[in-house]
Amino acid sequence: MNVVVICLDTMRTDMVHTFGTDFIRTPVLDNLAAESVVFTEAYGCAYPTIPVRRALFTGMDSFPWRFGYDTLGSSPSPRGWHKIPPEHTPVAERLVEAGVNTGFIADTYHMFKATMNFTRGFCSWDFVRGQEFDHWKTLPPGAVDPTKHTDAALDSPRMTGMLQYLWNQGERTKEDDFQAARVFLSAMDWVENNASYGPFYLYIDSFDPHEPWDPPLHYADAYFKDDSVKDYIWPVGTEVEGAAAIERTKALYYGEVTFVDTWIGHFLDKLEALHLLEDTVIIFTSDHGTELLDRNRFGKSEDHLQWFNTRINMFIRHPDKQHAGKRLDAFVQHQDVPPTVLDLFGVAYQGLDGTSMWPLVTGEREKNRDFIVAGWGQHATVRDHDFNYVIDFEQGPRKTDSGGFTVTQETAAQHVQEELYNLRDDPQETKNVLESEPEAALKQRARLEGFLEQELPARLDDRVDTYEYPRRVHAKTSPHMKNIT
């Protein structure tokens, strides 16, 4: 038995028909869902990119934040954005010890930064260069035009980032040159070269459909086309104004989703041509979603921990198809993937925070947990089947002498966020019922405090600024340089 894990970045769950919209073209993932067990209540334990993948690689919780590792030189470096701790054993290392061939292919460039060390345990790996701010290429002046995609000032950081991305992509001539295509073409080469070196474990990580939303244009044109507006391929933090511009921006995301779906299809076709689908388990997941004006903006961030940002895809397709079409509402999370993989390979393990999902599939167990807790920055979400509770755990609420909760004058001035959504009455999470459901809020707060092992407001030991570095002194002001002209 082989196992392939496919992870997509920024893939909303409602892009697949199993969960939502019926106009998005994802025939490959729709078919994969039909042949899989689909977990309808799948979430992360920590967000965004790097905390997610640390859980996917180790089976250990990434939250609460607890490791204050040096991230000097790593950008970005938000809460929990650090390497796999040396004391955590990646699933690939466990599999190699058991005689499994391991491969890793990704264009999620954050994983390959010098401080991260995600390649541990892989017999072979391929870093597909060129995504986002990856410092890969430069082109001659005038070779690309960032103003086609942004209204930012020429000397702004946004324009600089756009320029780097366009340099990386500036020599594309065909669809095969686009990022997701290159990732899955590499994966197709890998399975062809390694088909005889089984059993194998292949982890594929596509940064698409993360922004920039820059698919081959015919994919976006199929949803909406208007030559009078710019292609705002990087709309996060930008005011996209006008109905046509908004629809075109959404079309760019939809097109990117369909583009990635197409190339997952090519990869699965390769597995079928090599007769590998007959003995390969496919696990399909994602790291988080994104907002398409759900809360009047594009993008995602820690202060909007509703389903569109936090719910993830989680499909398991077993080649015997005995459980095809099953839908399970048991709570599962990213850290459950490694123990599931180890279970499927029959490799013994202990000491993981995650719990195998396979007994849920076979019916040996009904649930892994009663609720989920996840962190993003200094915010946390506590979710069960009835309520989603969201709070800035560092700022409040603060307990009163009577044992109740209040927001102090200090925290109110900082716009402390505390929200509660009744999921039975309001599955889209649009109405904050914190005041009308005080008992439910107290229950979720207590769960969070138990998980963090401290009362709110909480302080977590994860600061990356615990190291002191010598200041670089400019030559003009250094006393050691005063005699040098």
Determine the average pLDDT of the residues in 456-462: 83
Which pLDDT score is estimated for 241?
93
Determine the average pLDDT of the residues in 226-242: 93
Asked if pLDDT for residue 477 goes beyond 60, the answer is no
**Alpha-carbon span 274 to 61, nearest angstrom:** 36
Determine the average pLDDT of the residues in 211-233: 97
**Alpha-carbon span 337 to 3, nearest angstrom:** 11
Asked if pLDDT for residue 483 goes beyond 50, the answer is no
What backbone torsions phi and psi does residue 321 show, to the nearest 5 degrees? 55, 20
Give 99-145 pLDDT, tens digit per residue: 999 999 999 999 999 879 999 999 999 999 999 999 999 999 999 99
Give 291-302 pLDDT, tens digit per residue: 999 999 999 999
- According to DSSP H, which parts of 195-324 are helical? 217-221, 243-273, 307-310
What percent of the chain has pLDDT above 90? 80
**Alpha-carbon span 286 to 277, nearest angstrom:** 21
Nearest in space to 322 (alpha carbons), one of 281, 355, 284: 281
Which pLDDT score is estimated for 467?
36
**Alpha-carbon span 316 to 365, nearest angstrom:** 16
Beta strands in 155-244 (DSSP E): 200-206
Q: How far is CA 356 from the centre of its chain?
A: 20
**Alpha-carbon span 437 to 426, nearest angstrom:** 13
Determine the average pLDDT of the residues in 82-99: 95
CA pseudo-torsion sign 7, 183, 76, 353:
positive
**Alpha-carbon span 318 to 293, nearest angstrom:** 36
Asked if pLDDT for residue 474 goes beyond 80, the answer is no
Cβ–Cβ under 8 Å, residues 131 and 182? no
pLDDT band per the 50, 70, 90 thresholds, residue 471: very low
DSSP for residue 351? S
Q: How many Cβ atoms are within 10 Å of 226's Cβ, its own excluded?
A: 14
Nearest in space to 174 (alpha carbons), one of 141, 227, 218, 132: 218
Asked if pLDDT for residue 374 goes beyond 60, the answer is yes
Which pLDDT score is estimated for 404?
55
Q: Highest-confidence range of 332-346, 399-413, 459-473, by mean pLDDT?
A: 332-346
pLDDT band per the 50, 70, 90 thresholds, residue 257: very high
Nearest in space to 72 (alpha carbons), one of 62, 64, 83: 83
Asked if pLDDT for residue 407 goes beyond 90, the answer is no
Coil, helix or strand for 37? strand
pLDDT band per the 50, 70, 90 thresholds, residue 174: very high
Cβ–Cβ under 8 Å, residues 16 and 33? yes
pLDDT band per the 50, 70, 90 thresholds, residue 409: very low
Q: What is the dihedral of CA 221, 222, 224, 229, to 10 degrees?
A: 0
Which pLDDT score is estimated for 447?
98
pLDDT band per the 50, 70, 90 thresholds, residue 17: confident
pLDDT band per the 50, 70, 90 thresholds, residue 79: confident
